[in-house]
Amino acid sequence: MVKMIRPFNKPITVARPALPPLEEFREGLEGIWSRVWLTNDGPLVQQFRDDLMAFCRTDNLSLFTNGTLALQIALQGMGITGDVITTPYTFVATTHALFWNKIRPVFVDIEPDYYSLDPKLVEDAITPWTSAILAVHVYGQPCQLNELEKIAQKHGLKLLYDAAHSFGVEVYDKPIGHFGDLSMFSFHATKIFHSIEGGMLTFRDPGLRRLLDYLKNFGFENETEVVMPGTNAKMTEFQALMGLLLLKRVNEMIEKRRTIDRHYRLRLSQIPGICLVAPPSEGVRYNYAYMPVQVDEDEFGLTRTQLYLKLRDYNVFARRYFYPIIPDFPCYRGMFAGADLPVARRVASRIITLPIYSDLALDDVDRICDMIEYFHSRARSGVVSAAGAQYRASPLTATVA
């Protein structure tokens, strides 16, 4: 059978922000115009906070202008100092937030199923200088929550989660933000749910809310009194408007992603050398935030990076989230020479995250899978060398045998 594959005629990117109907946004803008209130805890920000409190089933929640500042402020507000045990397999903002607080990250390796901090290794890394654990629910898949909680309690450590990818995730009907002492969610445009830019903290200690309010607003108590050296990390009315309109649709968007994920899994599981991440564990209501797969070069016939480049030839802009691991970025290189991180390194060298967003058509998913299948079969038949030198995709069409 001969199957034609054409490159997409416009880029298919790893993520594509969801947008509400323009009419609804325009209506919201009219409200903002009539109130002439743009930021500083305006009515839409307050409404957004209330709606999120209902969605996340907690009163202990605070909004920020982005997730990175939310995490930086959380570390400051909780008085975390010294060493923090964390993961090398994440977006660089997780580590940057520690550095901005002059906290030393202690990298511990990840587990191979969902790529989050391996609790078995965490305990061995605890020293008298350790003050907290900062774990990441990578791609939205929950960390080993009970194990981390037990370790944190046993050693009197704070437990923080970078839940940037995890909005809408629940574990046995409990929202993911209810675990640990605090969780940070990112509402960046590329996330499953967003407010253009934005961030949210949920936390266990109700006393933290007031402190966070000070810290994100210069430490102002009132017009003339500043009670602590805060910064500026306030959410604007425009961000809140976007968030409010998308929050109404978030469950529907997750459902669409679930269908896309299922379709990918069905197709990709047939391709040798494409290794899927384990499905969500029992009790987890997942949000299908990302579509990561590992490429086994020996079986697939191409390296991960070769596949990434071939897809680009066909106008598919997958990403290598998260490559390289954090200690290998130039700004951190050499600082963590002793860290033994074989699993994180291996995953980072094989990972590719494929496009997923709620309005990605299933036909497009099929076409991406056809391409991957095609690259594999060409590589196997020797048309594409392991170095990727013999074959360049035609800009217009390619033929699949």
Binding site for ligand T4K (CB under 6 A): 13-17, 66-68, 90-91, 93-94, 136, 162, 164-165, 186, 188-190, 199, 317, 321
How near is the Cβ of 89 to ligand T4K at its closest, in Å? 10
CB-CB neighbours of 266 under 10 Å? 11
Residue 211 beta carbon to ligand T4K: minimum distance, rounded to whole angstroms: 20
Q: How far is the CB of 218 from ligand T4K (least distance, A)?
A: 20
Give the CA angle between residues 320, 321, 322 to the nearest 5°.
Answer: 110
Of 137 and 158, the one with the shorter C-beta distance to ligand T4K is 137
- In the complex, the smallest distance separating the C-beta of residue 88 from ligand T4K, rounded to whole angstroms, is 12
Q: For residue 181, which of 198, 164, 156, 199 has the smallest C-alpha distance?
A: 156
DSSP symbols for 30-55: HHHHHHT--SSS-HHHHHHHHHHHHH
Q: Which residues contact 156 (CB under 8 A, 6 or more apart)?
A: none
Helix (H, G, I), strand (E, B) or coil at 66: coil
Specify the residue, 319 or 350, whose C-beta has the smaller distance to ligand T4K.
Answer: 319
Q: Which is nearer to ligand T4K, 190 or 259 (CB)?
A: 190
Closest approach of ligand T4K to the CB of residue 77, in Å:
17
CB of 169 to ligand T4K, least distance (A): 13
- Residue 137 CB, nearest approach to ligand T4K (Å): 8
CB 145 within 8 A of CB 179: yes
Q: Which residue is nearest to ligand T4K (CB)?
A: 67
Residue 312 or 380: the one with the smaller Cβ distance to ligand T4K is: 312
Say whether 130 sits in a helix, a strand or coil. Answer: strand
Backbone angles phi, psi at 207, to 5 degrees: -65, -20
Q: What is the spatial distance between Cα 71 and Cα 382, in angstroms, rounded to a whole number?
A: 49
**175 or 292: CB nearest ligand T4K:** 292
- Nearer Cβ to ligand T4K (91/300): 91
Which amino acid is present at 367? R
- Closest to ligand T4K by CB, 143 vs 365, is 143
User: Residue 221 and residue 265: Cα distance in Å, rounded?
Assistant: 52
What is the gyration radius of the CA atoms in the chain, in angstroms? 22
CB of 177 to ligand T4K, least distance (A): 14
The residue (of 141 and 144) whose beta carbon lies closer to ligand T4K is 141
In 149-286, beta strands by DSSP E: 158-162, 170-171, 174-175, 182-186, 199-203, 274-276, 284-285
**Which of 213, 223, 221 is CA-nearest to residue 77?**
213
